[in-house]
Structure 1
Amino acid sequence: MTVYDPTPFIAPITEEDIADYLMQTPGFFERHAELLTSVQIISPHGHRAVSLQERQAERLRAKIADLEQRILEMVHNGQQNMSIDQRLHQWACDLQRMTHPPSLPEAVVQGIRRQFEVPQAAMRVWGVSPAYANAPFAVGASNDVRAFASSLTMPFCGPNLGFEPVGWLRDGDMVQSLALLPLRDGPMEHATPAFGMLVLASDDPHRFEATMGTDFLTRIAETASAALARLR
């Protein structure tokens, strides 16, 4: 025979219920401050038991240390960016002072190597004035390279996969990573035909990677393009 139990079923209180109650009752620990000193939890440092207040202090110190590290990184990055901006400005000023147009390509290349510590750099330009048509910087770029340069609307960065411009470098066999920068009139992202290509190369496979930011390289290409326009 089934015996009827009139006692209503009461679901057990869960941790979620307790957490929800405390969230909805902000004055609880003010009225029961003694609980804060009696609660003991495990510290992540040494696995010893500490009070809730001490654990909160540890978490706060960790957050402060993390913020301090981020601030130091921001300051360091800011100083690096300022240094790069200064060197880019100096390089641009040097190019503006050039009074002998045929010397510009070499000045561009050597300035990049000196100011930005790029191990190797070279370039080719086409569509130049007839007076410069037979200069070393104006010959040796195939139609494929010219078409590839015109197709780029941002710098190409990655490993050395046997690109033709590597052959323009003095020590092409040493190249592990490179950046290919199209030279064109106006902003790089415009799909106007390129009139040249600049190659930057390194024996470090991680110097120029596909995932790196290219804003700085874009500024280099646009500055070089503006200076080299005097050859056309």
Structure 2
Amino acid sequence: MIEPTIPPITEDDIANYLANTPDFFERHASLLATVQLTSPHSHRAVSLQERQAEMLREKIKALELKAAGMIRHGHENTAIADRLQRWTRELLLTRETRELPRVAVREIAAQFLVPQVAIKVWGVAPEYATEDYAQGASEDVQTFASSLTLPYCGANPGLEAAKWLEDAASVASLALIPMRAGIAPHAFGLLVLASSDSQRFATDMGTDFLERIGEITSAALSRLRPVVPAAV
């Protein structure tokens, strides 16, 4: 008669046994004192208790780093919110409608430390048509702006809008933010933010904040557009 082959005990079997038999070490307490492990820090043999203490210290350090990161991000978000509030306040305090684009550009550069900022609007009321920001946007740019559902971020592949900047040759990354009146499908302006840092406006960056900038700018600059008579 052939006896059945008993499979060898594996490490998983031992681990499962110990995990499901919590009183094992109570019955064999002396075993704990003889267990020696290799410390990843000193590469010497240490007791199980010492290794557990090391692991606990590592977990505490990781939690401290995570907490510090959360605090840092919280401070950064608060700083951004404060800058956004100051920028919005400047727009609200601007009484001269024709000055709104210039204030928007100046304060974006100052509050958010953007090296170069430019803006163009079109379809404005006749009294603003001679302003520099109301000229120079070709039909191609207007069509491109209307095609953007989200801000464009990335390198400058020779975009026409980049030529509105004072030093287009130094631009390594830029953001193009379309301006719309409410939910209108067509844009009535384009805001350009640029930097010599290729990662400042990287292609994989989030655009939520830039979208808020676009919405506020659009709301403020909508005062430049012709007043449409109410339907009778």
TM-score interval for Structure 1 and Structure 2 normalised by the shorter chain: over 0.9
Please state if 1:115 is matched with 2:124: no
Following TM superposition, by how much is the alpha carbon of 1:96 offset from its aligned partner in structure 2, in angstroms? 0.6
Cα distance in 2, alignment partners of residues 7 and 95 from structure 1: 90
Aligned residue pair count: 225
TM-superposed CA distance for 1:43, in Å, is 0.6
**Could you tell me how far apart the structure 2 residues matched to 1:81 and 1:137 are?**
31
Aligned-partner residue type, residue 139 of structure 1:
Q
Any idea what the Cα deviations from partners look like across 1:156-186, whole Å, max 9, x if unmatched? 1001111111110111111110000001123
The answer (yes or no) to whether the contact 1:118–1:201 under 8 Å persists in 2 is yes
Q: Answer whether contact 1:150 1:191 (CA < 8 A) is retained.
A: no
Which residues of structure 2 form unaligned runs of 5+? 226-232
State the identity as a percent. Answer: 56
The answer (yes or no) to whether the contact 1:151–1:191 under 8 Å persists in 2 is no
2: CA distance, partners of 1:99 / 1:124: 20
1:70-128 Cα distance to aligned partner (Å, 9 max, x none)? 11111111101101101101110110111101111110000000000000000100111
How far 1:7 sits from its partner (Å)? 5.2
**Runs of 5+ unmatched residues, structure 1:** none
Which 4+ stretches in 1 moved above 4 angstroms?
Answer: none
Note the C-alpha offset of 1:9.
Answer: 3.1
The correspondence of residues 61-140 of structure 1 with structure 2, limited to 5 A, is: 61-140=57-136
Offset at residue 229 of structure 1 (A): 0.8
RMSD of the TM alignment (CA)?
1.3
SS of residue paired to 1:198: strand
CA distance in 1, matches of 2:148, 2:26: 65
Compared with structure 1, are the counterparts of its residues 218 and 18 closer, same or farther at alpha carbon in structure 2 (3 Å cutoff)? same
Q: Distance in 1 between matches of 2:92 and 2:26?
A: 70
CA distance in 2, matches of 1:129, 1:208: 33
Q: What is the correspondence of 1:13-24 to structure 2 with a 5 Å cutoff?
A: 13-24=9-20
Partner of 2:162: 166
TM-score (norm 1): 0.93
**More divergent stretch after superposition (21-30 vs 194-203):** 21-30
